[in-house]
Amino acid sequence: MEIKRAQWSSHISFIIATVGSAVGLGNIWRFPYIMGKNGGGIFLLTYLLLIAFICIIPLCCELGLGKIYKQDAINTFNTINPKFKWLGWLCIITVTLIPCFYFVVGGWILNYIWVFLTSQLPQNFSIYFSQFSSQIFMPCFLTILFLIMTAMFPFKGINNGIEKANNIMMPLFTIILIILSLFALTLPGAKEGLIFMFKPDFSHFDKTMILTALGQALFTLSIGMGTILTYGSYMKENTNIVKSAYTLIICDTFIAVLAGIMIFPIVFSFGVEPSAGATLAFISMPQMFSQLPFGAFFGLIFFALLFFASITSGISMMETTIAAFIDNFNISRKKATIITTAIIAIISIPASLSFGLLSNFKILNKTVFDLLDYSTSNIFLPLNTLFICLIAGWFTPDFIKKVFGENFIAKIFYILLKFIVPLILICVLISGIN
């Protein structure tokens, strides 16, 4: 019996869900610290140009393939040509590996929510973070807890689970982000923070910075692993792909910039190096909150913000794998969710232990956590994106006409899709491997 494929109940739900997928730790945690390390304003400018003219292409490819074929990633590429089925699998492997480290960070977020909720603030967050993350039991337990919380939503299905979660959490997320940004703007370092963000310092403009910006753009838009394709497969027939893609890009970028407006004034007010790196969210930020009036409250809502961002992205990662299992192995949604959860649980434990027990266990000179992060972001994402563009542009019948129409703009998109974007992605890959 053919079961009718689920559909988003409205266009706005579809947009909220894709924004929920795109807006994640990539925006709130990764974007500000990468911008901090790469010269602030000049990075922002490069990133905006790349996202508007380059990343729009693979984004439209995934949305378009989802809309045309209405299947999971594996079946989509298999339908285009059985020779391309492997690409579907490559996407599924990538999107199953990402939560294995992403949810470890989710576990840390749960811990910090607890710390701020109970106001048991440590004196020194730097010592606290390294002590906590190197424990054996607690970080693993919280990773699995975060995983189960996330899995509950795809378990309940598209309309009852995923759509509801996004429709509740994304507005809450936006409200918190606006409150925190407004608060940050009242701090003494606000002006300096904003100048850092918006004044381009051209001395940072080089090849590495461009490539970093592109890698970040792919990651933050959830491109290159069939996630947007899967969400696109539930869209209604009359949805306009290019418009939806630009809406998604504008929302995602707006939130990333707002996250910067929240973080840099705080960073400059306390004299922390803006290039402090990955520890900005778990050491510098909580340390600063603990010194502010009402700090426990602001700290709590900051980590609630990270929680909403990461869980709505996590849901979309899991849904991509779950949809592939349902469509390819003919199993129920519930069974597919349980299998996906079990696979992620098994791999995420060594990732969590990378900060303690397994910190000396290295593959290719990287801990399990770093290997998962590095290989997915720097190798699989650009590689899969390259193949998705090539297959959509060169092998999918009438793809350009169906997605972009036949006007002048469509001609520009045609050249971008067939030649320019693949070329740029090849450059990213070569530099990512070096």
Q: What residue ranges bind ligand PHE (CB under 6 A)?
A: 21-22, 24-27, 95, 98, 219-220, 222, 225, 227, 313, 316-317
- The single-letter DSSP state of residue 257 is H
- Distance in Å, CB of 29 to ligand PHE, minimum: 8
Residue closer to ligand PHE (CB basis): 220 or 284: 220
* Dist CA 192 CA 203 (whole Å): 19
Q: Report the run of H or E that residue 412 belongs to, with start and end.
A: helix 408-415
Q: Which residues contact 195 (CB under 8 A, 6 or more apart)?
A: none
- The single-letter DSSP state of residue 235 is S
- Could you tell me the two tokens for 215? 């890698």
Residue closer to ligand PHE (CB basis): 225 or 261: 225
- Could you tell me the two tokens for 388? 């998705």
Residue closer to ligand PHE (CB basis): 95 or 345: 95
- Which neighbouring-strand residues pair with 366? 363
Instruction: Please check whether residue 320 is in contact with residue 230, taking contact to mean a CB–CB distance below 8 angstroms.
Output: yes
In 233-329, where does DSSP find H-type helix? 241-269, 284-291, 295-329
- Distance in Å, CB of 351 to ligand PHE, minimum: 15
| Residue 396: strand, helix, or coil | coil
- Distance in Å, CB of 315 to ligand PHE, minimum: 9
- The single-letter DSSP state of residue 200 is B
Instruction: Please check whether residue 299 is in contact with residue 266, taking contact to mean a CB–CB distance below 8 angstroms.
Output: no
Residue closer to ligand PHE (CB basis): 298 or 308: 308
- Distance in Å, CB of 320 to ligand PHE, minimum: 7
Residue closer to ligand PHE (CB basis): 25 or 261: 25
Residue closer to ligand PHE (CB basis): 304 or 400: 304
Residue closer to ligand PHE (CB basis): 55 or 400: 55
Q: CA 185, 187, 192, 196 torsion: positive or negative? A: negative
- Distance in Å, CB of 233 to ligand PHE, minimum: 15
- Distance in Å, CB of 256 to ligand PHE, minimum: 9
Residue closer to ligand PHE (CB basis): 142 or 255: 255
Nearest to 314 by CA among 17, 15, 65: 17
- Could you tell me the two tokens for 26? 């990539």
- Distance in Å, CB of 397 to ligand PHE, minimum: 28
Q: Which residues contact 130 (CB under 8 A, 6 or more apart)?
A: 355
